Amino acid sequence: MRDIDPQYRIIPAGAGWAPKSARGRLRFTGRDRVSFLQALLTNEIAALEPNAGTYALYLTPQGRIIADLHVFVRPDSVLADVPVEISADLASTFDRLIFSEDVHAADASAGIAQLSVMGANAAAALSASLGLDEASVRSLPLWSQLDIPGGFVARTDDADAGSWDVLIAAASAGDLLAALGRTGAAEISEDVVETLRIEAARPRMGVDMTVETIPLEAGLLDRAISQTKGCYVGQEVIIRILHRGAGRVARRLVQIQFDAGLAEVPPAGAVLSAGDAATGHITSACWSPKFGRPVALGYVHRDHAEAGREVIASWVQGSGFSVQGSGFIVPGSGFEVPGSGFEVH
């Protein structure tokens, strides 16, 4: 999708924004809100101070992913963004899990706008439009927040060039967009956002992860799972894999770069082969202006999940012709693979 290049060129030197339409928002209130989430989610919540945050998962008892959550601890509540298509159901699920705790879980998606601002000049654009100190925005730790009237700015890891989210009352979103526009920040399309995500090797729930995915398959051990906290839903399975199975799962999510001369972007579902054996499939792919070639995320068998391994993608065009493309597994693609010799966080 090389037609994204004009918009993509905003990112290396400027700032682009896009509504985070794929995410809904849950709000937890009540004095037991932190301990309630601590007992359910995979990452450490109880140790977080107000204006800090984390990335976490909510699992089934069998250790499969129900949802991924960006958790923002606020002075009077906890806000979490989740896949928008299940936000209402998740709020109801959490509400049903409340027994004697003083907690209330609500779907706050309609009342809160969430905007992603990305690019080399994103911190400057945010500081100018929101009256913040640029150095404070730029140095904000991951998932931490700065207060603004009616909301907050949070540091994220959506794009390699730098990314922040603004969560603000929906009624104020228009004023925010106008202020960003005056700084020169421009709206970018969902295709550009998706390209930046794949380049940054960030799996997306519902695309690269499903309700059948074990977090270790998706390389989320270091990003989303605390190995020191107490019990959470699904912990027994995760601990069993780590300690009895030495972290071995049947497949691993990896990033693949294809030959620059490949004319087409391999589609999701394209079969991946290593040598003469089928080894997995592609989950998402794009044309990457950054690398000048197609780039994909996909699952491969654990025996093939190693840096530099050549893989072949095969798929059938709409015309019925078979197509193949050669690529290699990228070192430092963002997924830890025990024993493979590469790891980047």
pLDDT for 237-254, tens place per residue? 999 998 877 778 999 999
Q: What is the pLDDT of residues 89-101, one digit of tens each?
A: 999 999 999 999 9
Q: Phi and psi of 287, rounded to 5°? A: -85, 125
pTM confidence score: 0.93
Q: What is the pLDDT of residues 121-138, one digit of tens each?
A: 999 999 999 999 999 999
Q: What is the pLDDT, as a whole number, of residue 218?
A: 95
Confidence of residue 177 (pLDDT cuts 50, 70, 90): very high
pLDDT in tens, 226-238: 999 989 999 999 9
Query: Both tokens of residue 18?
Result: 């896009």
Domains identified in the chain and CATH numbers: 2-199 (3.30.1360.120), 250-345 (2.40.30.110)
CA dist list (Å): 184 to 13, 132, 165, 187, 188:
11, 17, 17, 10, 12
Average confidence score pLDDT of the chain: 93
CA angle at 157 for the pair 202 and 93, rounded to the nearest 5°: 70
Taking 90 as the threshold, does the pLDDT of residue 204 lie above it? Answer: yes
DSSP letters for 110-155: GGEEEEEEESTTHHHHHHHHHT--HHHHHTPPTT-EEEETTEEEEE
| Cα gap 119→159, rounded to integer Å | 8
Please compute, for residue 339, the number of CA atoms within 13 A of its CA located in the half-sphere on the CB side.
Answer: 10
Cα–Cα dist 38/59, whole Å: 13
Strand-strand pairing, 293-301 and 310-316? unpaired
Residues in Cβ contact with 120 at an 8 Å cutoff, skipping those fewer than 6 apart = 11, 12, 13, 14, 15, 161, 162
Q: Quick one: how far is CA 46 from the chain centroid?
A: 22
Interval 259-309: pLDDT, tens: 999 989 999 999 999 988 999 999 999 999 999 999 999 999 999 999 999
Question: Given the structure tokens 């809904």, which residue do they identify?
Answer: 24
